[in-house]
Amino acid sequence: MEKTPVENATQQAAAPLKLLGSWASSYTHRVQLALRLKGLEFDYAEEDLGNKSDELLRLNPVYKKVPVLVHGDRALAESVIILQYLDDAWPESRPLLPSDPFDRALARFWCHFADDKLGPAVGAVFASTGADQEAAVRQVHENLALVEAELRDGAFRGRRFFGGDEVGLLDVVLGCGSYWLAVFEEVTGVRLVDADAFPLFHAWLRDFEALDEARETIPAVDRLLEYARGVRHMLLGLAGAGAGPAAASAAAEAPAAAAAPAPPAGAADIAVDI
């Protein structure tokens, strides 16, 4: 007898989960964190982004990037889409999105902002020096001021987390990426998150980073620092050697996104890997 859609969904939900990711990729961390928050077991496969596996290329032929979530015999790419899938498929355990349609849309809007504006601005600070870097720092501060205003007077006013008392979609998206701010401050010597200028954002980040599931997910700071120093050295070296535009556009993806496990050898690799 043919299964009903509900029986199909139940069977699918019980299928094994596997994540293809990269250890320094904050997009990968988003999915790992959401899986942990929801208490879902998963296998993890580390990708070498300088030498992508046939499996990654087969499962994400469009973007060829991590993360990819395999659920049973089906695969999904794009971190925010994966997070929403997890929430749709396991709505009962630690919901990431609120039930109100407007609040759901708002969380998605700010996730888009994180990937579209804040992340690229932080990336530009990381990948530049001098006047370019000063301009990028201004961009980061303008974007953080927008988030601070929402926490102070806007949609997220009075909340401990963007999701309310518990972390939600936007916490996962913004949180997995924001730990790079401190790493990049250390590597570049530029102050990005001043607790006096952004007290609510600063307090939110501290609470986020204290979560057990976040601590389990975010790699050790020493490892991130070493990685970031290597990538910055390489990006600036290449920019100096005339590979600026490729390196800069690659790095614009880096911070919210910082990606590959080991700094690759050449400009072509950088454009691909970060």
Residues that bind ligand GSH (CB under 6 A): 22, 25, 27, 49, 64-67, 78-80, 253, 257, 259, 272-273
Q: Which is nearer to ligand GSH, 183 or 259 (CB)?
A: 259
CB of 30 to ligand GSH, least distance (A): 7
CB of 105 to ligand GSH, least distance (A): 19
Rounded Cα distance between 157 and 150, Å, is 6
Q: Which is nearer to ligand GSH, 40 or 272 (CB)?
A: 272
Question: Is 66:274 a contact under the CB 8 Å cutoff?
Answer: no
Q: Which is nearer to ligand GSH, 78 or 148 (CB)?
A: 78
Q: Shortest CA distance to 88 belongs to which of 110, 77, 104, 73?
A: 104
CA dihedral angle for residue 214, residue 257, residue 25, residue 147, rounded to 10 degrees? 0
Q: Which is nearer to ligand GSH, 58 or 206 (CB)?
A: 58
CB of 66 to ligand GSH, least distance (A): 4
Residue 253 makes CB contacts below 8 A (sequence gap 6+) with 119, 120, 123, 259, 274
Rounded Cα distance between 223 and 229, Å, is 10
Rounded Cα distance between 111 and 168, Å, is 11
CB of 22 to ligand GSH, least distance (A): 5
Q: Is the dihedral of CA 272, 253, 274, 81 positive or negative?
A: negative
CB of 28 to ligand GSH, least distance (A): 7
Q: Which is nearer to ligand GSH, 126 or 198 (CB)?
A: 126
CB of 274 to ligand GSH, least distance (A): 7
Q: Which is nearer to ligand GSH, 57 or 195 (CB)?
A: 57
SS3 of residue 164 by DSSP: strand
